[in-house]
Structure 1
Amino acid sequence: MDYIERGTKSYKQTALAFFAAGFNTFAILYVVQPILPDLTEYYGVTPTAASLSLSVTTFTLAISMLIFGSISEAVGRKNIMIVSMLTASILCILTAFSPTFGSLIVMRALQGVALAGLPSIAMAYLGEEIHPRSLPGAMGLYISGNALGAVFGRVLAGVAAGLWGWQFGLIGVGVVSLIATFIFWYALSPSKHFVKREFNVKDLFKSLTEHLKNPLLLILFLMGFLLLGTNVSLYNYVSFVLIEDFNISQTIVSWVYMIFLVGVLSSMISGNLVYRYGKVMMLYTGIIVAVAGLIIVLIPSVWTIVAGLILFTFGFFIAHSLTSGWVGNIAHSNKAQASSLYLFFYYTGSSVGGTLAGVFWMQSGWLGVSLMNISFLILCLTLFMVFLYLLRRRIWYFK
């Protein structure tokens, strides 16, 4: 069937293309997180309002992802992904010139729509074009690009903001993302195994509603909502704490986001641990470790905050990878739509949690944010217990 196999030139080019794509998407998505204090000061808005610059992007991304995947079934994969990356990169640069906070929010909302064209399609393309035995490696490089892009976007934006101003951070990330877009366009081959299907809104809606009627899937979706809501709210406000309470410069604070590289390590380690101890035990462990990290960040010291962030991040990535992986096991059919719904709840959780934490920040500061996050994870742990109870009683859902 002429699939792309590991070791070939086509495989290397495809892997490079999707590494660049993941880098582009997540660098732009999270670029504003380290500069939230700058936006607060520059536009004269509250930290809660400033957090909307990330929340609106993840929310429009969540909604748009439900649509773009189905559109690509009718019109093809590569062109949508290229337009998505190019548009998001240009909008990222233009955002630096936003005259008002309202215009910045509009630009960030549009970026969410543009960015949705890649993650909703990337895995479909890889699944169609890469040989099954070579697929895990290609997926791994794409996910690595996601992680490195998320770290790079945060660090570059924060360092540039500290040295020259937050506008240069956005411009820098936008320019690098443009380069990644051209690498993607040049390296990726057109689809060979894509089969065009008619876009049917009714069938899409029916598939989505059927998944929502499955209590096991709904619990997994809500767990994803709570997990990313906790992650984003924690990292949204840690920069405020380190800058305001410990008088650390923006340039130095930005390097805190390197902690996200712990996610790559935890993903590698958890694979072996799951094989040894099982998914249930490791998901429990991931959530409990994350809660322990949230407790430690309450100790008023820079080093304990950093240690707590590392512990939380390690546990978060274990919990998220296992929760998202379980969606594919539980879904009877239309697994792509089930995954899209999980990502919808996941990124909606980012929007809700990131903004809701601002309310707690205004009322109770870092303590309020941390207690909100601990409550989120305790609820997540409770939902997982309910999930296991239902799974035992309705075993036919598990396939």
Structure 2
Amino acid sequence: MQHSAIAAGTPDFKRINRAMAFGGFSTFALLYCVQPLMPLLARDFGLTPAQSSLVLSLSTGTLAVALLASSVISDRFGRKPIMAASMLSGAVLTLAAAFSQDYAQLLALRALLGLLIAGMPAVAMAYLSEEIDGRSLGLAMGTYIGGSAFGGMLGRVIASFISDFYSWRVALAAMGLAGLYAAFEFWRSLPASRNFRPGARGVGALLGGLRTHLFDAGLPLLFSIAFLLMGAMVSMYNYIGYRLLAPPFSMRQSAVGALSVLYLLGIFSSVWAGRLADRLGRRNVLWMVMSVMLAGLLLTLLDNVWMIVAGMGLFTFGFFASHSVASSWVGRRAQAPQALASAIYLFLYYLGSSVVGWISGYLWSHGGWLGVVALLSAVLVVALLLALRLRSVPPLNPQEART
């Protein structure tokens, strides 16, 4: 029996928002806490910037691969158990990474973390699309992404400060303990699925679902946008630290890590953009918030630390707003199997993180920050053109027509 969808303001809606905030926090904190540690790893293990970026790129790469499998598994075993197991695994592996004996072992644990933590982001979008009333979906998705922004910010800041006063090992151990607590709160808070129905499974079902989503007129554009936006976002935060640690800025590690507090803008912008998209339509909002990203990126070319920080703030604001709008649009447009549509979106989202982030490392080594900005500007221009193309794609269903 189909249960009524959960609307904003109800007790269950508040419980879902609380759980998803913890889920987003844990996933992004554990995944990205190593980002400000990259210069320290390069120093301790004798690595180049591109080599040290593997500690993040490898995790996001294996996570991308695991997303498709996680969506299929959740169609069999349910949404909540997969998400909770994913969060617990990520916390345990982060604790283990703190005791790595060498860089190869650290990379192996981070690769495994990417594989096992995939269940949370792969299933969260599908859970919300199934359980939340369409008129409240933008707000719920924005809250989840806001929790992700907070996790990404706090994970970076905590890891950076602890490593500045102790070591990167102590920083990872602290993040692992925080992940265990988040997993407990998630399991305690999230209501069990009421509208989930076990779907067809197996390779045939997976291929059929891929065919449905990839031959849609609009979804491949949204999937491509995910690849480009996340690639740009990770590249910005991967390499801006190298620029600010070097002369003429010569900032401390903790000060550079503190710049991740700009992720707080993402908490606001993701919820704000979700509400705005619910009211004005996603096709009218997406291209505008992406333009803010591009403007912020160009500001970072200036040799003034305050203008660089302002540019990073605009860039971060625009990214989380864009991701909130695009991801909820996938939930509105996708036909069954919805979890697979969310997984494809996130597969390309994290693949962009790995591919563009890795390429940006080579451009940093050969062209400095100007080379990185040149690449990311091209990436964002292509994404903006795709968003403008989406404005002319006809709605697939009445629910999407209201976007």
TM-score, normalised via structure 2 length = 0.88
Query: Is 1:360 the equivalent of 2:366?
Result: no
C-alpha distance after superposition, 1:169-195 (max 9, x if no partner): 111111111111122233445445543
The answer (yes or no) to whether the contact 1:236–1:354 under 8 Å persists in 2 is yes
CA gap of 1:210–1:131, structure 2 versus 1, over 3 A, is closer
Q: Which residue of 1 aligns with 2:265?
A: 262
SS at match of 2:301: coil
Once the two structures are superposed, the pairs formed by residues 255-334 of structure 1 within 5 Å of their partners are 255-271=258-274, 274=277, 279-334=282-337
Show structure 1 runs of 5+ residues with no match. none
The answer (yes or no) to whether the contact 1:291–1:312 under 8 Å persists in 2 is yes
Question: How far apart, in 2, do the equivalents of 1:355 and 1:270 lie?
Answer: 29
The answer (yes or no) to whether the contact 1:243–1:249 under 8 Å persists in 2 is yes
Letter in 2 for 1:284: W
Q: CA deviation at 1:17?
A: 3.0
Query: Is 1:340 the equivalent of 2:343?
Result: yes
Q: Which residue of 2 aligns with 1:23?
A: 25
Instruction: Determine which of 223, 231, 234 is the counterpart of 2:233.
Output: 231
Letter in 1 for 2:122: S
The answer (yes or no) to whether the contact 2:50–2:362 under 8 Å persists in 1 is yes
**Does 325-334 or 343-352 show the bigger shift?**
325-334
**Does 219-228 or 204-213 show the bigger shift?**
204-213
CA gap of 1:93–1:242, structure 2 versus 1, over 3 A, is same
The answer (yes or no) to whether the contact 1:227–1:377 under 8 Å persists in 2 is yes
Q: Which residue of 1 aligns with 2:376?
A: 373
The answer (yes or no) to whether the contact 2:163–2:170 under 8 Å persists in 1 is yes
The number of aligned residues is 396
Instruction: Determine which of 66, 72, 75 is the counterpart of 1:73.
Output: 75
CA gap of 1:36–1:317, structure 2 versus 1, over 3 A, is same
CA gap of 1:280–1:300, structure 2 versus 1, over 3 A, is same
Question: How far apart, in 2, do the equivalents of 1:348 and 1:327 lie?
Answer: 18
Q: Which residue of 1 aligns with 2:163?
A: 161
The answer (yes or no) to whether the contact 1:219–1:383 under 8 Å persists in 2 is yes
Once the two structures are superposed, the pairs formed by residues 102-113 of structure 1 within 5 Å of their partners are 102-113=104-115
Once the two structures are superposed, the pairs formed by residues 106-145 of structure 1 within 5 Å of their partners are 106-128=108-130, 139-145=141-147
Q: CA deviation at 1:297?
A: 0.3
Question: How far apart, in 2, do the equivalents of 1:14 and 1:314 lie?
Answer: 24
SS at match of 1:312: helix
The answer (yes or no) to whether the contact 1:211–1:217 under 8 Å persists in 2 is yes
**Does 158-167 or 183-192 show the bigger shift?**
183-192
The answer (yes or no) to whether the contact 1:282–1:318 under 8 Å persists in 2 is no
Q: CA deviation at 1:131?
A: 6.8
CA gap of 1:276–1:209, structure 2 versus 1, over 3 A, is closer
**Does 69-78 or 231-240 show the bigger shift?**
69-78
C-alpha distance after superposition, 1:132-179 (max 9, x if no partner): 777666555433322211111111111111111111111111111111
Question: How far apart, in 1, do the equivalents of 2:395 and 2:193 lie?
Answer: 38
Q: Which residue of 1 aligns with 2:203?
A: 201
Q: Which residue of 2 aligns with 1:48?
A: 50
Q: CA deviation at 1:360?
A: 0.2
Q: Which residue of 2 aligns with 1:95?
A: 97
Query: Is 1:243 the equivalent of 2:241?
Result: no
TM-score, normalised via structure 1 length = 0.89
Question: How far apart, in 2, do the equivalents of 1:283 and 1:15 lie?
Answer: 23
SS at match of 2:53: helix
The answer (yes or no) to whether the contact 2:138–2:278 under 8 Å persists in 1 is no
CA gap of 1:345–1:131, structure 2 versus 1, over 3 A, is closer
Q: CA deviation at 1:29?
A: 1.0
CA gap of 1:237–1:315, structure 2 versus 1, over 3 A, is same
Q: Which residue of 2 aligns with 1:180?
A: 182
The answer (yes or no) to whether the contact 2:142–2:273 under 8 Å persists in 1 is no
The answer (yes or no) to whether the contact 2:129–2:331 under 8 Å persists in 1 is no
Show structure 2 runs of 5+ residues with no match. none
Question: How far apart, in 2, do the equivalents of 1:395 and 1:5 lie?
Answer: 23
CA gap of 1:311–1:102, structure 2 versus 1, over 3 A, is same
Letter in 2 for 1:87: S
Question: How far apart, in 2, do the equivalents of 1:356 and 1:145 lie?
Answer: 28
**Does 104-113 or 134-143 show the bigger shift?**
134-143
Question: How far apart, in 1, do the equivalents of 2:278 and 2:122 lie?
Answer: 29
Letter in 2 for 1:295: L
Q: CA deviation at 1:274?
A: 4.8
Letter in 1 for 2:267: V
Question: How far apart, in 2, do the equivalents of 1:380 and 1:155 lie?
Answer: 29
Question: How far apart, in 1, do the equivalents of 2:284 and 2:12 lie?
Answer: 39
Q: Which residue of 2 aligns with 1:221?
A: 223
The answer (yes or no) to whether the contact 1:18–1:184 under 8 Å persists in 2 is yes
The answer (yes or no) to whether the contact 2:266–2:320 under 8 Å persists in 1 is yes
What CA RMSD, in Å, does the superposition of the two structures yield over aligned residues? 2.8
